[in-house]
Amino acid sequence: MSLYDLDRAALAAALVGQPRYRCDQVWDGLYRRAAPLDQLTDLPAAMRDALSAAHPGALTQAARSTADGGNTVKWLWSLHDGERIETVLMHYPRRTTVCVSTQAGCAMACDFCATGQAGFARNLTAGEILEQVVQARQSAHPRRVDNVVFMGMGEPMANFDRTWQAVERLTADMGLSARSLTISTVGLTPGIRRMAELELPVNLAVSLHAANDELRTRLVPINRRYPIADLMDACAHYVRSRRRRLSFEWALIDGVNDRGDDAQELAALCAPLRAHVNLIPLNPTGGFMTRGSPPQRVQAFAEHLRQLGVNATVRANRGSDIDAACGQLSAATPMAPPTRR
Ligand code: SAH
């Protein structure tokens, strides 16, 4: 079990026989400094060795690729049971964001998403989620990781408790503000409602992609269970109770959801919630043959939304040449990674 899966009481138990202050020292090292055990040289070596023997790191690097001149880094990790996940670190001129996975695979089966095409393996533990942030922090050094987005492999709301445990550690112990965290969901309304009851003002992103039930059920099968009216009701509840910005993600698919009617339907859903729209030009994946909207259509769709009073931005496609962009994470071993260390 990852050291990051232990709460303070469990860590104290793992340090039985040591003076009390050692527990605080280790906790501080793991979270505030976010340093690997072997760098916590203020701890006795024998203690570090015993801890790392009992709780080896959860993530073993299977591959590391970079793109965008080194500003995008993707890791493929293998877990203790052989499952694989990916993490993406993105440096922008004024901020650095890490995108973490919450499950190995995904059970939501959205056709256009590589993770959905591959199917579900298992939930990640909070420690496995947190270690992705720790690794990214070390790699980013001396830059800081400003934002954590739960937008990697898996559906965070289908692994709610462990995802939330990671959120609490990131805010209470690692010093990130809840405002710098974003949880993205395919639209599991019970999860959105639960999140609305919790104290931390985390940003909520909803992968909408279609604004009518017929089309949305085709693209996002779970819509059959949680149709748009229910989803909008849960979103309204979140916006009212947490006062955080809501955004809708919309992958633009050629001739499918990029027409004038689509923009109008979408704008009608956004207005009462003052939702922001993140347009994602569809990234190619092996199992979905429909193309993304051409660039002019993406711009025209964004412009149309703006004319309808919607705040819309087009998301930059970071790392698409190393299959690190939205919807491309499948934890497949790269054939010839551009860089590998
Ligand atoms: N399961 C969660 C977290 C994943 S976030 C969710 O669905 O929100 C990944 C985002 O990329 C989601 O908005 C997803 O719908 C989007 N996406 C999936 N496949 C894509 C593709 N091929 N091109 C662009 N975006 C895609």
Catalytic-residue membership of 106? no
pLDDT confidence of residue 141: 93
Instruction: Out of 23, 86, 128, 270, pick the active-site residue.
Output: 86
Ligand 1: which residue has its CA nearest to atom 3? 151
Q: Which atom of ligand 1 is nearest to the CA of 152?
A: 4
Residue ranges of domains in the chain: 1-56, 58-340
CA 217–ligand 1 middle distance (angstroms):
15
User: Does residue 337 register a pLDDT over 70?
Assistant: no
| 178, 245 Cβ separation under 8 angstroms | no
CA distance 135 to 140: 9
CA of 11 to the centre of ligand 1 (A): 36
For 283, the token pair is 């990234």
For ligand 1, say whether the CB of 186 is within 6 Å of any of its atoms: yes
Residues 211-267: pLDDT tens digits?
A: 999 999 999 999 999 999 999 999 999 999 877 889 999 999 999 999 999 999 999
Dist. CA 271 → ligand 1 center (Å): 23
Protein residue with least CA distance to atom 12, ligand 1:
207
Residue 326 among the catalytic residues: yes
Single out the residue of 296, 232, 297, 240 nearest to residue 270, CA to CA.
232
Q: What is the mean pLDDT of the chain?
A: 94
pLDDT digits (tens, 9 = 90+) for 115-158: 999 999 999 999 999 999 999 999 999 999 999 999 999 999 99
Burial 72-88 (b: 16+ CB within 10 A, else e): bbbbbbbbeeebbbbbb
Q: What is the pLDDT of residue 35?
A: 86
Q: How far is the CA of 152 from the centre of ligand 1 (A)?
A: 8
Own/partner long-range contacts of 266-269 (Cβ < 8 Å, ≥24 apart) = 266/208, 266/211, 266/305, 266/310, 267/305, 267/308, 267/309, 267/310, 268/211, 269/208, 269/211, 269/228, 269/232
List the Cα angle 103/106/110 in 5-degree steps.
Answer: 150
Compute the distance from residue 56 Cα to the ligand 1 centre, in Å. 31
Between the CA of residue 46 and those of 12, 18, 41, 49, what are the distances in Å? 16, 12, 11, 5
Could you tell me if the CB of 323 is within 6 A of ligand 1? no
Catalytic: which of 23, 110, 270, 326?
326
Confidence (pLDDT) at 341? 40
Indicate if the pLDDT at residue 335 is higher than 60: no
* Choice from 113, 291, 323 to test ligand 1 binding pocket (greatest atom count within 8 A of CB): 113
pTM metric for this prediction: 0.96
Which of 98, 223, 280 is the pocket-test mutation for ligand 1 (most atoms within 8 Å of CB)? Answer: 280
Domain 1-56 indexed as CATH 1.10.150.530: yes
340 vs 229, residue with greater confidence? 229
Report d(CA 163, CA 130) in Å as an integer.
Answer: 9
Q: Does 338 have pLDDT greater than 70?
A: no
- Which CATH superfamily, name and number, covers 58-340? Aldolase class I (3.20.20.70)
Strand partners, 297: none
Separation of CA 257 and ligand 1 centre (Å):
15
* Cβ–ligand 1 contact at 182 (below 6 Å): no
Band of the pLDDT at 112, cuts 50, 70, 90?
very high
The torsion angles phi and psi of 199, rounded to 5 degrees, stand at -70, -35
Distance CA 257, CA 266 (A): 10
Beta strands in 146-198 (DSSP E): 147-150, 181-185
324 touches ligand 1 (CB under 6 Å)? no
Tell me the pLDDT band of 340, cut-offs 50, 70 and 90: very low
Average pLDDT of the segment spanning 21-31: 95
DSSP annotation of 332 reads P
Predicted confidence (pLDDT) at residue 99 exceeds the cutoff of 90: yes
If pLDDT is split at 50, 70 and 90, which confidence band does 334 have? Answer: low
- Mean pLDDT across the stretch 286-290? 87
- Check if 11 has its Cβ closer than 6 Å to any atom of ligand 1: no
pLDDT the model gives residue 339? 46
Q: What is the pLDDT of residue 245?
A: 84
In the predicted model, is pLDDT for residue 167 greater than 70?
A: yes
